[in-house]
A and B are shown apart, each in its own frame.
Chain A
Amino acid sequence: MRLDRVKDAVVGQIRIIARHKFGIFGAGIIVFFGLVSLFAPWIAPYDVWETINTAQGKPAILKPPSLEFPMGTTMMGRDILSQMIYATRTTFLIGLVAGLISIVIGANIGLLSGYYGGKLDEAMMRFTDIIYGMPFLPFLIVLIALFGRSIWFVILAICCLVWRTSARVIRAQTLSIRQRQFIQSAKARGCSDLRIIYGHILPNIMPLLLLYTAFNIAWSVLAEAGASFLGFSDPNNLSWGGMLYELWISGKIRTAWWWFAWPSICIVLLVSSLVFISRAYEEVANPRLKQR
């Protein structure tokens, strides 16, 4: 695959986002969260599990937001702001990695299935159907219970499920592009099947691919939040969903509104901004009028 052609495609996509008001907003939020994740150890005033004492020497339990603790504290006297900062890292990482891996899986399955057709297509699509039939969250929980609760197993579990939609969609696009005359032409000119799939078809499905990358990351974030809220997350790596879990088991969900608000708002914000970016792509992914 030619590197500069890929570069052109990516730069083109960035330009697409930049033209869309929502896209810029979404991209801004994501960049913000990304920076927070990156610089977490330097920004966070306290450790995640550090119990902080007040001036009186007692643990700062369930303190509402104040100057000292801008986001308040938990039942165990921990600073929510610091927790949020570190949790951003976990959530962001899981979302990004799981999202990217699953789009790679989905895209490849879609491309190969759509291009080769026949028995391979049948087999892959039946498998996809089976995965489709599985209720998402329950199955995710089963997988995490099976694999283990460390952060990488969580990512693995998410990857096992999230790829299914993108595989279907990309297969459909591949099928339609495969019929077009320039693919026949590529074959006649001596291009091998793999060269055609990755060199000729892939550049033409980029808008759709990036659209579903954004979706996949969004779904992964939601998946992680859902699973960790139910307690199925890495105990050593706190995520936003994990914070909500702690809140839940403390029983203080009715009273500690600040403990509930910040993780929830951030989950919504991150997922929405990914969807906003995908809106910018939707306009491109839908077939435009061919310029003649």
Chain B
Amino acid sequence: MDILEVEGLRKYFYLDPGFLAKLVTRKKPSVIKAVDGVTFSIRAGEILGIAGESGCGKSTTCTMITKLLDPTAGVIKYKGRDITTLNKQEVRDYRKQVQIVFQDPYESLNPRFTVFDQVAEPLRALGVGDKVEVRERTLDTLELAGLVPEEYKDRYPHQMSGGERQRVGIASALVLSPELVIADEPVSMLDVSIRAGILDLIRDLSKRLHFTCIFVSHDLSILSNISERLMIMYLGKVVELGMIREVIANPLHPYAQALISAVPIPDPSYKRPRPNIKGEVSQPIDPPPGCRFHTRCPQGTMEKCELEDPPFKEIQPGHFAACHLY
């Protein structure tokens, strides 16, 4: 069963040129197509990894799924229901089911809240349970996140390490028992020796508490360890999607091929092939028509590539790519 379906999701930001510039040069507003036609779905219980470099639109996509940002166009269906048309009360219910863990453990906690208040806040804000139930659930969730409740509940963020803070962040996301959890670069700002613990926690809890997880990261090494399926984005579009082992062993899209061959390997004896790619990554501002990647594609570009957006289709069973080569 697909717990989340995203169809043709778009988010455009318009940059107004200055008043004078408009007058003099008749310049039209620039448009940043941060997300430009993203379509994918997630099966209940799986861990989907979303990879891509900065500017690819992965974080913006997640912001729209959590309803912290409204899409310009497209549909997001949660359990079959379009979330862009929810009323206030329905949004509150939605928030009980879809939650997010943020990247920066030093910024995602309110400096004035104790750990207990931080984790209890979602329950209080959404009116879930009475005082006793709130207390019970909060302490239980702290324990699940690997923090001994008695020791941590009265602490303030500045009294904790990055790893501990991130566990609090995870607890505050899970206290509502959500069914879909989005983890936006949850370990990128943590020390290496602590990352494994947090990754284990997320993996473990997703099985125990039966939630689906979207794991966003620019680090393919991390994704290769935790996700089951992998989606790669480039300049606002999805370029490849498939089981992670498949995609990494056998990438179809030229961008995916370059990306994967660029990942450094912690093994001095391994000789990595040189990634096949030209040019620098650009911003998704006023993108030209055709395939977004054609200006950097090492394979000879056909005429089609410059004119038509390649369709996102299933090339091999369960393995999708958007490229005119196929």
**A touches B in complex, CB < 8 A:** yes
**Cα–Cα, bound, A185→B110 (Å):** 9
CB atoms of B95 and A188 under 8 A apart: yes
Residues of A bordering B, CB below 8 Å: 2, 5, 9, 180-182, 184-192, 195, 200, 203-204, 206, 290-292
User: Known pairs A186-B110, A192-B125. 13 more at Cβ < 8 A?
Assistant: A9-B112, A181-B104, A181-B107, A182-B108, A182-B111, A184-B108, A188-B95, A189-B99, A189-B125, A189-B172, A190-B96, A190-B125, A191-B125
Q: Is the CB of B106 within 8 A of A186?
A: no
Least CB distance from A177 to B in Å reads: 10
Q: Which residues of B contact A (CB under 8 A)?
A: 66, 68, 92, 95-96, 99-100, 102-104, 106-113, 117, 121-122, 125-126, 158, 162, 169, 172-173, 176
Instruction: Determine how close the nearest CB of chain A comes to the CB of B120; give it in whole angstroms.
Output: 10
- Chain A residues positioned under 8 Å from B125 (CB to CB): 186, 189-192, 195
In the assembled complex, the CB of A144 is this many whole angstroms from the nearest CB of chain B, namely 40
Task: For the complex, give the distance between the alpha carbons of A291 and B162 in Å.
Answer: 11
Measured between beta carbons, the chain B residues less than 8 angstroms from A292 are 106, 158, 162
> Given contacts A190-B122, A191-B125, is CB(A182)–CB(B95) below 8 Å?
no
Contacts of A200 in B (CB 8 A): 110
Chain A residues in 8 Å Cβ range of B66? 188
Q: How many A-B residue pairs have C-beta atoms within 8 angstroms? Tell me.
A: 69
Chain B residues within an 8 Å CB radius of A182: 107-111
Instruction: Give the residues in chain B near A206, CB-CB below 8 Å.
Output: 112
Q: Which of A2, A9, A204, A290 contacts B117 (CB 8 A)?
A: A2
How distant is A119 from chain B, measured CB to nearest CB, in Å? 17
How many Å lie between the Cα of A187 and that of B66 in the bound state?
10
Ranked 10 nearest A-B pairs via Cβ: A189-B122, A291-B158, A203-B112, A181-B107, A190-B95, A190-B126, A191-B125, A182-B110, A181-B108, A190-B125
Closest to B103 in A: A181
CA–CA, A203 and B66, complex, Å: 26
Query: Out of A2, A184, A192, A203, which one reaches B102, CB within 8 Å?
Result: A184
Give B91's nearest chain A residue, CB to CB.
Answer: A190
A200 to B117: give the CA distance in the assembly, Å.
Answer: 11
Name the B residues within 8 Å of A192 (CB-CB).
125
Contact, CB under 8 Å: B126 / A185:
no
> A2-B117, A190-B92, A190-B122 in contact; A185/B112 too (CB < 8 A)?
no
